[in-house]
Amino acid sequence: MTNSFNGKRILVTGASGMIGTALVQYFMTQGAFVVAHVNQRNLEISDHPNLLSLAADLGNAGAGIDLVKAAGPIDFVINNAARQDVDLLSEVDPKKMAEIFQVNVLSASEIMIQAHAQGAQAIVNLSSIEAVSPRTGHAVYGASKAALDALTRSGAAELAPMRVNTLRLGLIGRPGIEQNWPEGVSSWNQRSPLGRYGAPEEVCGVVDFFLSSASAWCTGSILDFDGGMSAIASW
């Protein structure tokens, strides 16, 4: 699929994170011009003719709209930015909950609406299997991803012909994860039907499919990309 996105302009939010960085690098190799959103300007990824780095705090209402306007004409959007705070539901305060929903749901909604207004062809929202099965301490994060899943369905219906789909991710490995979280990785690998966690590069491949003409008749879909974890009983 080399250079399959030649001449296309793609906005990637949360571009400084592990998955975001992989998405930026991947689509640049596919010939796209990538607009990489970061919370603060990342000089390391700003020096490339096919890359524009834009800083925006998606925790502020309206920042998603301003970000898309600043990005200019865009063909595709990958909503990857998210807050994944760890708090017990009984202890998280309403202000923090609202802040998480602003980044994970409301800014994504703003971006979808403005991208549609600017003629974007397709959007992929990155969700999590915690939308349906959250770990202890991830209640608010899981709820925000469940809301994002619902937003995908609504957006697909209301914003057509722009396509809106979701990739619901399981555990994606990062360097050092086995040393930093041995119990979690061991539990995941033992329970997962495929016996391993995923890689950022694999996420890129599925996002490619959702944005490409191969999925031209696909909208409002939510794909579990979790090594089969969602297919097994949790009891």
**CATH 1.10.10.10 assigned to 9-229:** no
- 35 near 96, Cβ under 8 Å? no
For residues 156 and 164, give the distance between their C-alpha atoms in angstroms, rounded to a whole number.
5
For residues 51 and 48, give the distance between their C-alpha atoms in angstroms, rounded to a whole number.
5
The 10s digit of each residue's pLDDT in 30-73 is 999 999 999 875 445 556 889 999 999 999 999 999 999 999 99
Candidates 26, 141, 188, 225; catalytic one: 141
Which neighbouring-strand residues pair with 128? 169
Q: Which of 174, 157, 156 lies closest to 166 in space, CA to CA?
A: 156
Of 44-53, 105-114, 176-185, 200-209, the one with minimum mean pLDDT is 44-53
Structure-block tokens of residue 93: 């305060």
The pairing of beta strand 122-128 with beta strand 163-169: parallel
- 71 near 11, Cβ under 8 Å? yes
Q: What is the pTM of this model?
A: 0.94
> What are the domain boundaries of the chain?
9-229
Query: Which residues have C-beta within 8 Å of that of residue 214, sequence separation ≥ 6?
Result: none
How many Å separate Cα 196 from the centre of its chain?
21
DSSP 73: S
Of 159-163, 175-179, 201-205, the one with minimum mean pLDDT is 175-179
Q: Above 50 in pLDDT, residue 158?
A: yes
For residues 34 and 105, give the distance between their C-alpha atoms in angstroms, rounded to a whole number.
22
Q: Let me know if 26 is a catalytic residue.
A: no
Structure-block tokens of residue 224: 């579990």
Q: Which of 145, 135, 77 lies closest to 111 in space, CA to CA?
A: 77
3-state helix, strand, coil in the chain (%, to 5): 45, 15, 40
Q: Above 50 in pLDDT, residue 77?
A: yes
